[in-house]
Amino acid sequence: MRLNYFSSVIISALCLTGSVHAAGFKAGAARADIEIPVSAFPIDGFTGQHDPLAVRVLLLDDDHARAAIVVVDQTSIFDGNITAMKAIITNIAHVDAANIMICASHGFSAPHVFPPDHMPPEMRDKTGALKQAIEAAVRAAATDATQHLQPATVGFGEGTSRVGVNRDVPTPFGWWLGGNDAGYSDPTLGLLRIDSANGLPLAVVMNYGVQSSVMDFSVDSHGNRLVSADLAGVATHLVEDHYSGATSFFLTGAAADQAPYLQANRHVVRADGTATRQDVHDAGFDLLALQGERLGQDALRASDAVAAQDKPILAVERKTVQLITQTGVTVGPPPKGPLKTADLKASDPVDVPVILMRVGDVAIVGVREELSASTGAWIRQHSPFAHTLVVTMADGAAKYMPAADAYDRLTYEARSSHYAKGAAETLASAVVEMLTSLKATP
């Protein structure tokens, strides 16, 4: 494969499945709530639950290949948990593990399921109970989706949403977190709608670049931090209520530098340069409802513009790109406030996985890393496919891979990234080459 922009990029590819003439296209989708036992609380800083977390499973089959997209209401998902979930999907839905993409909705109001060696002994039983609850929901949703696999059509719609805002804010002491209307945001909301043979929606997949973090670290008036599916949960439930019987999915887009326009617990930089936060407590859930409903309505408007494809080609590929890392990043707790200097240096290269899924004229690009909005927009604009969804938090989490200008400004993302300046641009160019190859492959 020839790269036009970065000849030093090393790409290895394994084509897993594909088809040329799809005899028939089928789909199945289902949601199952995660039943967290009361005995698990308090867990990971949460003392109770405001609204349920969920697992959503989408199965796609063109008679030659079968693939699955699974969205779990978690901030991020560790490798061992992903392996366990894929084993469940494979066993129930007969999808090869390589054709399954597990995505976190990236909600910041969900307790983590840490590996046993990453938590104190007293937390292992509670975390184990949460892990079992998530896997039970995966099992239930996979079973339901498999049982309702049926002939379907696929269509793509594109709209806009202004729920997100750039979160990198200039201060006299350096760049910090907040809401920056002058910063770059990509309002594009991509939408994949899958209809049954009778024309009714089975699944509505929205792809938008914003973190689901309205309630991030907010506590109520009694000091309780409550579990919530946050922005993604409100938006998907609204769509599901509108299309009775359909399942709605939120695929986190390029949102490294994007936050909800209004957050319950907002970032503030004091006059002495130190950072703090200000919480509106119970009123935060009003902000959540307002923005989640707006995002859901934006998705419904995009859904109305969908044009269906008959018998779309289905294919999945997994590839890797070699990217340069950096030293000098924050280790352990995240940065505590703005800085004007930092000693960031390029370090050894690593292989970064990329998932490519083709559904007719739509390409889905999945990466573990959190990309800047400008990177996601560049990939979409240069993709050879008619429609492209850029999905982050896919099959794991690897923190930030910000655009080059973030390193010049020493933003929160650049100071927290394991990747050196230029890695995002190298990745973006490589992904477009991969998509070009996928488009041309019979």
- pLDDT tens sequence across 171-219: 999 999 999 999 999 999 999 999 999 999 999 999 999 999 999 999 9
Q: What number is the average pLDDT over the span 297-318?
A: 89
- Whether the per-residue pLDDT at 12 is higher than 70: the answer is no
Task: For 123-236, list the strands marked E by DSSP.
Answer: 150-160, 164-171, 174-180, 188-196, 201-208, 226-227
Q: State percent of the chain over pLDDT 70.
A: 93
For residue range 326-365, list pLDDT tens digits in order.
Answer: 987 755 567 889 999 988 999 999 999 999 999 999 999 9
Neighbouring-strand partners of residue 259: 165
For residue range 129-167, list pLDDT tens digits in order.
Answer: 999 999 999 999 999 999 999 999 999 999 999 999 999
Residue type, 352: V
pLDDT of residue 310: 65
pLDDT of residue 312: 86
- What do you get for the CA distance between the two ends of the chain, in Å? 16
Q: Where are the domains of the chain?
A: 11-20+312-440
Task: For 34-108, list the strands marked E by DSSP.
Answer: 48-49, 54-61, 66-72, 100-104
100 and 17 Cβ atoms separated by less than 8 Å: no
Which residues lie below 8 Å from residue 300, measured CB to CB, with a gap of 6+? 238, 239, 242
Q: β-strand 226-227 against 188-196: which pairing, if any?
A: unpaired
CB crowding 181-199: b at 16 or more within 10 Å, else e: eebebbbbbbbbbbbbeee
pLDDT of residue 156: 94
pLDDT of residue 282: 97
10 Å CB burial of residue 420 (0-12, 13-18, 19+) is buried
pLDDT of residue 308: 75
Token pair 């496919």 in the structure block, residue: 385
Distance CA 138, CA 35 (A): 11
The more confident residue out of 90 and 122 is: 90
For the four alpha carbons of 286, 291, 296 and 298, in that order, the dihedral sign comes to: positive
Q: What number is the average pLDDT over the span 310-317?
A: 87
- Model confidence, pTM: 0.93
For residue range 360-407, list pLDDT tens digits in order.
Answer: 999 999 999 999 999 999 999 999 999 999 999 999 999 999 999 999
- Whether the per-residue pLDDT at 13 is higher than 60: the answer is no
pLDDT of residue 300: 97
| 17 band by pLDDT with thresholds 50, 70 and 90 | very low
For residue range 36-52, list pLDDT tens digits in order.
Answer: 999 999 999 999 999 99
Which residues lie below 8 Å from residue 336, measured CB to CB, with a gap of 6+? 275
- Whether the per-residue pLDDT at 22 is higher than 70: the answer is no
Distance CA 402, CA 427 (A): 11
Instruction: DSSP letter for 137, please.
Output: H
pLDDT of residue 62: 93
8 and 225 Cβ atoms separated by less than 8 Å: no
Which of 37-51, 109-123, 360-374, 424-438 has the weakest average pLDDT? 109-123
Tokens of 281: 């407590």
Three-state SS at 410 = coil
For residue range 260-290, list pLDDT tens digits in order.
Answer: 999 999 999 999 999 999 999 999 999 999 9
CA 316 vs CA 131, 354, 441: distances in Å: 28, 11, 12
Tokens of 112: 């983590």
Q: Please choose, from the candidates 136, 390, 349, the residue with its C-alpha nearest in 3D space to the C-alpha of residue 256.
A: 390
The more confident residue out of 23 and 22 is: 23
Tokens of 41: 């609380």
10 Å CB burial of residue 40 (0-12, 13-18, 19+) is buried
| 84 band by pLDDT with thresholds 50, 70 and 90 | very high
pLDDT of residue 333: 62
| 9 band by pLDDT with thresholds 50, 70 and 90 | very low
